[in-house]
Structure 1
Amino acid sequence: MLGDGKMELAVIDIGGTTIKFARWDGQALQDRTAAPTPKTLAQFYGLLANTVTKMKADHPLVGVAISSPGAVNQETGVIEGMSALPYIHNFPIKPELEKRFGLPLAFENDANCAALAEVKSGAAKGKQRVAMLVLGTGVGGALIANGHVEHGAHLLGGEFGFMLQNGKGVSAQATVVERVKNYEKRTGKQITGEALFTAATAGDRVAHEEVEGFFEALAEVIFNLQYSYDPEMFLLGGGVSRNPALIPGIERHMDGVFKKIEIATQRPVIKICQYTDAANLIGAVVNYEQHAE
């Protein structure tokens, strides 16, 4: 289990622009470094293999834990789907990496890793059933059941952005990115996400409508998930999760949802993710340990 001191791991968080490395010493992350993400598969293999080889020379590593973009198929060792790194997808990459590392490997999707970190030792510590929404350019996330990732039959667990809401995808309504685009189309003015919230507070009618629409869309999505997946807790991640107006705004519109559905009594518990840049690394360790059990 996390922090029992039994295994040392090389830990890797693969991102579209940066790859983060660390060593798990059985208690905490050590020796954290980062490097620009390579442009080719050959360079990618070289960077990861060289970094792990150097760690192995100095420490008794027993395996490698990886957080990756894409739909990670645990059974086939293939990273399905698409991401900013097309060269890692749709072939058995796991055995190729294990061959180069000379160590067993466990890998998982990055959002799923972040959720595992929160459930193990973060904002949802001790919870068994959790839904995490990551609010970025789209709405992604993860589902946790019995402390483990719920992948779904087709690796679609947590793909909340594909849900429909008022005839549109959730990602088109419940992200600040899309609300900024709406504002710019409606006003002809350019604005940042942060400035959109400031303008809404200052009395800009269009900004206010877009921000309130964002809160309302999230409230409805969370309500629907409460009454379908029924988690103990919702976690919100992504850059906008650091905005102190986020949860109060959602809760305000949640009041309206409950007025519409008067028979509903279970109000969602909503919290902000505790971990930020280390979430994927920590979650990769949790995933490795779960597979080693």
Structure 2
Amino acid sequence: MSYFAVFDVGGSAIKYSLMDETGEFLEKSSVPTPKDGLDSFIDTIDSVVKGFQKSHELSGVALSMPGAVDVETGFIKGITAITYIHGPNIKELIQERTRLPVELENDANCAGLAEGWIGAAKGISDYICVIIGTGIGGALVLDKKIRHGRNLFGGEFGYMILEDYLAQPIGESWSTLAATWGLVMQVAKRKDMDPHTLDGVTVFKMADDGDMEVQDEIEKFTKRLAVGIYNLQYIIDPEKILLGGAISKREGFIEQINEKLKVMKPNEQCLAIQVEPCQFGNDSNLIGALYHFLQRATKIPSH
């Protein structure tokens, strides 16, 4: 059995685990993401690795990272809350410090890989994972392989322009209208409130408590999500579209989206579009990061 140190690096915390080659968790914890620079970040990764090595011989280090990760070179492009990861070769730096093989992949792509390996898309060749959070991201998997795109923006579904493109130079994107923060902003505008006093949980509680204005905004929110999903189905025509993010776990949420999609079907000849929930929650990035490592290390086919 082979063992791996696996990390899910986020803006506020680094989740880490000791995992075996089947995706089983042996240990799991987290630490705050260092704020004072790259050296502290590398020190943190190395410290966790050395801790695991006290009880297990490690075969490698796998990381889920924010940003536009170039899996071939080890550089991370784009802009994220962790500014110091952009510029240096993160893969090489961790390899030099730990003296272990290292692989890294974008966090949303890791979530998609987890579903294809042992999750809701197991055995599926073409599928999409749409991750709904502060923004909308995701993973595009075609022929069992992550499609990164020429500029590493494959799966950045949230940039899709959805509304108001005639009145503005660009218009409102799917993220600004149909991500959780987008919903918060629409409710705050409708209620004349400071959006920073709200979050997704609060908004849905307001609706559950009978606030009809908030209920109306949630109705618009789910329709906007359905429109984006409808467009993706007709552009890519995948076998499955999976929804992830905390909101996807809300009771009845997936059913609401599917009801909207059913109503949008213009005639019997059109596709019957449905979404399913992602199987994994907070562990998805860790599972997918490990599978990405296994793919790269052994050159096995993508699930």
TM-score under structure 1 normalisation?
0.91
Whether the 8 Å CA contact 2:261–2:274 is kept in 1: the answer is no
Per-residue CA shift, 1:128-163, capped at 9, x if unaligned? 211111111111111112222111111111101110
| Higher mean C-alpha deviation, range 222-231 or range 202-211 | 202-211
* TM-superposed deviation, 1:238: 1.1
Q: Tell me the amino acid that sits aligned with residue 17 of structure 2.
A: A
* TM-superposed deviation, 1:271: 0.9
Per-residue CA shift, 1:219-244, capped at 9, x if unaligned? 11111111111111111111111112
Pairing partner for 2:145 from 139, 144, 148: 148
- Unaligned stretches of 5+ in structure 1? none
Pairing partner for 1:244 from 248, 251, 254: 251
Matched residue, 2:71: 74
| Higher mean C-alpha deviation, range 200-209 or range 54-63 | 200-209
3-state SS in 2 of match to 1:84: coil
Matched residue, 2:287: 282
**Structure 1 position 29 matched with structure 2 position 25:** yes
The correspondence of residues 11-26 of structure 1 with structure 2, limited to 5 A, is 11-26=6-21
Pairing partner for 2:178 from 174, 177, 182: 174
- Alpha-carbon distance change, 204 to 31 in structure 1, aligned in 2, over 3 angstroms: closer
- Alpha-carbon distance change, 34 to 267 in structure 1, aligned in 2, over 3 angstroms: same
**Structure 1 position 257 matched with structure 2 position 264:** yes
Whether the 8 Å CA contact 2:139–2:146 is kept in 1: the answer is yes
Whether the 8 Å CA contact 2:111–2:284 is kept in 1: the answer is yes
Whether the 8 Å CA contact 1:212–1:249 is kept in 2: the answer is no
Matched residue, 2:56: 59
Distance 1:96 1:192 in 2: 37
In angstroms, what is the RMSD of aligned CA positions? 1.8
Whether the 8 Å CA contact 2:60–2:100 is kept in 1: the answer is yes
Q: Tell me the amino acid that sits aligned with residue 188 of structure 1.
A: D
**Structure 1 position 110 matched with structure 2 position 117:** no
Percentage of pairs with the same residue:
38
Distance 1:177 1:264 in 2: 36
Distance 1:185 1:158 in 2: 29
Pairing partner for 1:38 from 15, 34, 40: 34
**Structure 1 position 186 matched with structure 2 position 182:** no
Whether the 8 Å CA contact 2:262–2:272 is kept in 1: the answer is no
Q: Tell me the amino acid that sits aligned with residue 82 of structure 1.
A: I
Q: Tell me the amino acid that sits aligned with residue 249 of structure 1.
A: Q
TM-score under structure 2 normalisation?
0.88
Q: Tell me the amino acid that sits aligned with residue 173 of structure 2.
A: G
* TM-superposed deviation, 1:216: 0.7
3-state SS in 1 of match to 2:53: helix
* TM-superposed deviation, 1:202: 5.3
Whether the 8 Å CA contact 2:265–2:271 is kept in 1: the answer is no
Per-residue CA shift, 1:103-127, capped at 9, x if unaligned? 1111101111111111111122221
3-state SS in 1 of match to 2:138: strand
Distance 1:107 1:192 in 2: 31
The correspondence of residues 94-105 of structure 1 with structure 2, limited to 5 A, is 94-105=91-102
Whether the 8 Å CA contact 1:140–1:158 is kept in 2: the answer is yes
**Structure 1 position 124 matched with structure 2 position 124:** no
* TM-superposed deviation, 1:77: 1.1
Runs of 4+ with >4 A deviation: 189-192
**Structure 1 position 89 matched with structure 2 position 86:** yes
3-state SS in 2 of match to 1:227: helix
Whether the 8 Å CA contact 2:136–2:156 is kept in 1: the answer is yes
- Alpha-carbon distance change, 74 to 185 in structure 1, aligned in 2, over 3 angstroms: same
Give the number of aligned pairs. Answer: 286
Whether the 8 Å CA contact 1:10–1:21 is kept in 2: the answer is yes
Q: Tell me the amino acid that sits aligned with residue 18 of structure 2.
A: R
Whether the 8 Å CA contact 1:115–1:142 is kept in 2: the answer is yes
Matched residue, 2:219: 212
* TM-superposed deviation, 1:191: 4.8
Q: Tell me the amino acid that sits aligned with residue 18 of structure 1.
A: A
Distance 1:142 1:26 in 2: 23
